Each structure stands twice: as C-alpha cells, then as structure tokens.
C-alpha cells in the first residue's frame, strides 16, 4: 500500500481499480481534522488519474468503515471552530460525491454520523451482514448536517427523520430494506461482494460511466425538464469517444 499521507493509503491494480484505506484513525476509524484533511487530499490526488475506473473506500480496521467524527475534538470547539471543522468534513464528503469515477463504500461493523455521511456520498454501499448504522449527533448536543441532506433522497423523508431525530441504530437487513445500502454480504463475503460490483463496473464503458455519474449528480439537484434536456448533449458527446462504436459492435458480434 502506498501512503499518500499518514491518514490515507492507496492500492492500485492493473484493471484501473484503486482502494483508498483510511489509516491510523484508531480501531473504529474515527475522523479528526487531520484524518479528514488527509483523506480529502488522497481523493483529490486520485481524482486526477484519468485511467482510474473505480474506487473502493475502506477502513484499516474491520470494526467500521468510519465510526464517526472525533467527539474528543468536537467537545473543545466553539462556534467559529465548529464551523471550520464541519466545513472540512463537508469538503471531504463533496470530494467523494464529485469523484469522477464510481466510488464503492466497503462497510463492515459500524458506520455512524459523519461516517454515514461519507458513505451516503458514495455511489454504491456494500455492507457486511452484521453492520450497524446510525446518526447519533443529537444525543451529543449537535444536529446532523452537511451530507446528511442526502439521506431523505436515499431512504425517504420519514425514515430519514426517524434515523436522524431518534439517534437509534439500524442493522444491515433494515438498511437494505430502506435503501440505505445496496447489498448485504453473507458472513465472510464482504470483499467478494465488493469485487462483484467492481466486476460489473468494469464491464461498462469507462467514459460512459464517468458521464453517467456526472449526470446523476446533476439530476439530484435539477428540475425534471432541465435534467431531461441536459442529458441530450451528454448523449451526443459520448460519440466523441470510440466507446459506442466499439462496445455496440461487440454486442452485435456476440449476437450473431
């Protein structure tokens, strides 16, 4: 594993798949300011790699993806430093959301608070069979903010309200039923489930996938008619690459 900085290690394979590992953040992969900035730095470096086809985000410890933001650090904040702290976390989540290639969250154990916000910013969430999820902020005197705003879009307003306002945790089957995660792996099968999704992504045109991700991000924010009309130009631009001709011809040839 290549260390971009003390908080962020990267492994690449010949297929164009990278794994970003959150390092030196304790057994629960807790995010303090140094880790937040380090992981964002790693994401920004990887985002510049045009040949990257997929990114997996994982924790060094299998007890969690991210166990949350550092409460010991947050307990010392005032209004000004609190806004600076949450802005750093916002920028990390946005670096995930804006990452040009598909991003998979590998989710063993716990994923809480700011960790769930990072996961919500990923494109695909794959959980272990015994994973647990929650938004505990209101129990420690702060609201859930920034990319918690993605939760109503993922799981609906009623479930998002329940998760954020009760601070109760949910298990992996519940998270799957709600749409908070996309896959729950059987016991011992988390990496195999991640690899299955990676394989599916690698079957797709890499430029088409990047265009699709950018469109989906815009669809989250634009009215329907603008979303529809915007996509016409994106469709046309896909023909500036060789992907449509090459991949469609391959499909035609297989059907003969």
Catalytic residues: 117, 137
Count the neighbouring beta carbons within 10 Å of the beta carbon of residue 66. 27
The span from the CA of 96 to the CA of 91, in Å, is: 9
For residue 227, give every residue at least 6 positions away whose Cβ sits within 8 Å of its Cβ, in sequence order, or none: 218, 219
Strand order in the sheet with 183-184: 2-5, 8-12, 17-22, 54-59, 103-107, 124-127, 183-184
For residue 224, give every residue at least 6 positions away whose Cβ sits within 8 Å of its Cβ, in sequence order, or none: none
Cα-Cα-Cα-Cα dihedral sign, residues 151, 91, 48, 216? positive
For residue 183, give every residue at least 6 positions away whose Cβ sits within 8 Å of its Cβ, in sequence order, or none: 124, 125, 126, 127, 176, 193, 197
Tokens representing 146 are: 């920034």
Using CA atoms of 195, 201, 203, 209 in order, give the dihedral in degrees to the nearest 10. -170
Tokens representing 244 are: 């449509």
């Amino acid at each position: 594993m290549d260390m971009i900085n003390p908080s962020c290690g990267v492994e690449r394979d010949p297929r164009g798949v990278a794994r970003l590992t959150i390092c030196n953040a304790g057994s629960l992969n807790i995010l303090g300011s140094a880790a937040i900035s380090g992981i964002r730095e790693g994401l920004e470096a990887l985002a510049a790699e045009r040949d990257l086809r997929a990114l997996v985000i994982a924790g060094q410890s299998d007890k969690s993806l991210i166990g949350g933001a550092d409460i010991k650090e947050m307990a010392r904040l005032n209004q000004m430093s609190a806004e600076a702290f949450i802005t750093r976390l916002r920028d990390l989540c946005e670096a995930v959301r804006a990452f040009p290639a598909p991003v998979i969250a590998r989710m063993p154990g716990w994923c809480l608070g700011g960790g769930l916000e990072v996961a919500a910013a990923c494109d695909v969430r794959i959980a272990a069979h015994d994973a647990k999820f929650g938004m505990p902020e209101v129990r420690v005197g702060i609201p859930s903010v920034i990319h918690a705003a993605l939760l109503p879009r993922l799981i609906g307003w009623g479930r998002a309200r329940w998760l954020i306002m009760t601070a109760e945790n949910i298990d992996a089957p519940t998270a799957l039923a709600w749409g908070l995660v996309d896959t729950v792996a059987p016991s011992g099968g988390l990496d195999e489930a991640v690899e299955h999704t990676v394989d599916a992504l690698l079957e797709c045109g890499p430029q088409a996938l990047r265009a699709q991700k950018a469109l989906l991000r815009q669809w989250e924010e634009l009215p329907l008619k603008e979303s529809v009309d915007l996509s016409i130009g994106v469709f046309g631009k896909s023909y500036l690459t060789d992907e449509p001709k090459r991949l469609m011809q391959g499909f035609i040839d297989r059907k003969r």
